């Protein structure tokens, strides 16, 4: 869609741009996608500026980390200006001064912290799940999916669609409208519990599904698949289970024109030995089912890992929670 949007903007506003330049702009946007090739072999480092598939350091991260830490009132230890002042191009690759190793580590760790505390926060995800359900239920009436491949209409899809659903009186939007109003009342899907996948199981982990939880319920429970939502949250430092800094080239000082890689143990023994978290979270759409879902979730852990790997037990007040008609 990004490439279609570029074409739409150029055509809609009659922008005078030659085809070669337009092609390079598009290539820079999708440069990080696996299997994408670029037409020019000269100045290939330019394709690492917007979407860096080589090592993950790009202006996109600089932008949203600065924006979101400020918007959420969080502190930000990473200063991208310092990093930009020390970079240099060597052998067609953007390289960084060796002394900025920990500065780059802060970039990746700050991003991971944002994912952990903001983007994938349990309540944030619960609201996200409700919004998704509301949009799916509204699709037949609003025909949202028909706009996905139409740039002239797609750019208009923003948060106002939620208000459109909420203020509509049409019968076809009643279910969606009720979900949006539940969000307003903070009557959100109930987070039952979570567990972090043990480090030794990360390599062979397969996403947990609602069906996995249903198949682990007690014999006296009557859970259906639509009652349970499972989210498999992956938080890493942009390179999965690998150290992202091993993909980055450094130079020693400004008199040096040779690039090299640096191992963690040459910098600090306090840097992490594991670079990825996999967290399985379980929610229920019906507050009356918290206890049944929580028990099924614990049974699944025992069956899969031979122990309960969740950090905490589901609070008793949640288990006793009764649904109140609004």
Out of 25-34, 45-54, 118-127, 186-195, least confident range = 25-34
CB 201 within 8 A of CB 277: no
Question: Does residue 97 sit in the same domain as residue 243?
Answer: yes
Q: Is 139 among the domain residues?
A: no
Q: Is 164 among the domain residues?
A: no
Nearest to 283 by CA among 109, 59, 125, 118: 125
Question: Does residue 49 sit in the same domain as residue 102?
Answer: yes
Average pLDDT rounded to a whole number, residues 243-258: 90
**CB < 8 Å & 24+ apart, contacts of 10-13:** 12/152
* CATH for 287: 3.30.70.2760
Question: Does residue 210 sit in the same domain as residue 322?
Answer: yes
Helix or strand run (H / E) with residue 279: strand 276-284
Nearest to 234 by CA among 182, 275, 284: 275
- Higher-pLDDT residue of 75, 46: 46
Q: Is 71 among the domain residues?
A: yes
Q: Is 110 among the domain residues?
A: yes
Confidence of residue 316 (pLDDT cuts 50, 70, 90): low
Q: Is 69 among the domain residues?
A: yes
Question: Does residue 62 sit in the same domain as residue 98?
Answer: yes
Provide, rounded to the nearest whole percent, the portion of the chain with pLDDT above 70. 90
- Higher-pLDDT residue of 74, 164: 164
The mean predicted confidence, pLDDT, of the chain is: 89
Nearest to 48 by CA among 23, 66, 22, 30: 30
Q: Is 140 among the domain residues?
A: no
Question: Does residue 95 sit in the same domain as residue 223?
Answer: no
CA distances (Å), 308 to each of 64, 88, 162, 302, in order? 36, 49, 39, 6
Last residue of a domain, one of 246, 266, 286: 266
Please give the Cα distance from 208 to 225 (Å, whole number).
13
The pLDDT value given to residue 256: 86
Buried b (16+ CB within 10 A) or exposed e, 255-278: eeeebeeeebeeeeeeeeeebbbb
- Domain with 94 in it: 31-119+238-266
Residues in Cβ contact with 253 at an 8 Å cutoff, skipping those fewer than 6 apart? 97, 98
- Higher-pLDDT residue of 230, 318: 230
CB 231 within 8 A of CB 270: no
Question: Does residue 246 sit in the same domain as residue 298?
Answer: no
Question: Does residue 114 sit in the same domain as residue 66?
Answer: yes
Out of 41-50, 146-155, 247-256, least confident range = 41-50
Average pLDDT rounded to a whole number, residues 75-79: 81
The pLDDT value given to residue 324: 47
**Global pTM value:** 0.86
Question: Does residue 200 sit in the same domain as residue 315?
Answer: yes
The pLDDT value given to residue 310: 66
Pairing of strands 276-284, 228-236: antiparallel
Q: Is 301 among the domain residues?
A: yes
Question: Does residue 227 sit in the same domain as residue 314?
Answer: yes
* Total of domains in the chain: 2
The pLDDT value given to residue 321: 58
Q: Is 313 among the domain residues?
A: yes
Characterise 267 by phi-psi region: left (phi > 0), alpha (psi -120 to 50), beta (else).
alpha
Q: What is the pLDDT of residues 264-285, one digit of tens each?
A: 666 666 677 788 999 999 999 9
Q: Tell whether the torsion through CA atoms of 163, 166, 168 and 172 is positive or negative.
A: positive
Question: Does residue 105 sit in the same domain as residue 41?
Answer: yes
* CATH for 50: 1.10.3210.10
Question: Does residue 200 sit in the same domain as residue 319?
Answer: yes
Residues in Cβ contact with 180 at an 8 Å cutoff, skipping those fewer than 6 apart? 130, 131, 134, 162, 165, 166
Q: What is the pLDDT of residues 144-170, one digit of tens each?
A: 999 988 999 999 999 999 999 999 999
- Higher-pLDDT residue of 264, 231: 231
Question: In what order do the strands lie in the sheet containing 190-196?
Answer: 190-196, 276-284, 228-236
Question: Does residue 257 sit in the same domain as residue 311?
Answer: no
């Amino acid at each position: 869609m990004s490439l279609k949007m570029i074409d739409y903007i150029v055509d809609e506003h009659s922008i005078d741009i030659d085809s070669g330049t337009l092609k390079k702009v598009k290539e820079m946007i999708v440069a990080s996608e696996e299997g994408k090739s670029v037409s020019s072999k000269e100045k290939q480092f330019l394709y690492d500026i917007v979407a860096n598939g080589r090592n993950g350091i790009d202006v996109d991260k600089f932008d949203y980390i600065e924006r979101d830490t400020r918007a959420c009132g969080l502190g930000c230890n990473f200063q991208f200006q310092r990093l930009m002042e020390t970079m240099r191009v060597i052998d067609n690759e953007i390289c960084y001064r060796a002394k900025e190793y920990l500065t780059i580590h802060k970039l990746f760790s700050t991003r991971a912290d944002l994912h952990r505390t903001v983007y994938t926060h349990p309540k944030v995800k619960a609201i996200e799940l409700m919004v998704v359900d509301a949009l799916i239920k509204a699709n037949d009436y609003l025909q949202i999916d028909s706009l996905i491949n139409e740039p002239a209409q797609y750019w208009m899809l923003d948060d106002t669609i939620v208000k459109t659903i909420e203020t509509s009186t049409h019968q076809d939007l009643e279910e969606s409208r009720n979900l949006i109003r539940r969000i307003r009342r903070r009557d959100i899907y109930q987070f039952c519990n979570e567990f972090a996948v043990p480090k030794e199981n990360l390599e062979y982990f397969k996403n947990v599904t609602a069906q996995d939880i249903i198949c682990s319920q007690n014999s006296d429970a009557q859970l259906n698949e639509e009652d349970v939502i499972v989210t498999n949250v992956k938080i890493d430092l942009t390179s999965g289970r690998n150290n992202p800094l091993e993909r980055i080239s450094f130079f020693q000082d400004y008199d040096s024109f040779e690039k090299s890689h640096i191992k963690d143990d040459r910098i600090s023994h306090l840097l992490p030995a594991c670079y990825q978290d996999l967290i399985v979270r379980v929610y229920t759409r019906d507050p009356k089912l918290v206890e049944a879902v929580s028990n099924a979730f614990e049974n699944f852990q025992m069956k899969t890992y031979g122990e309960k790997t969740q950090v905490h037990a589901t609070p008793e007040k949640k288990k006793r929670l009764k649904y109140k008609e609004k």
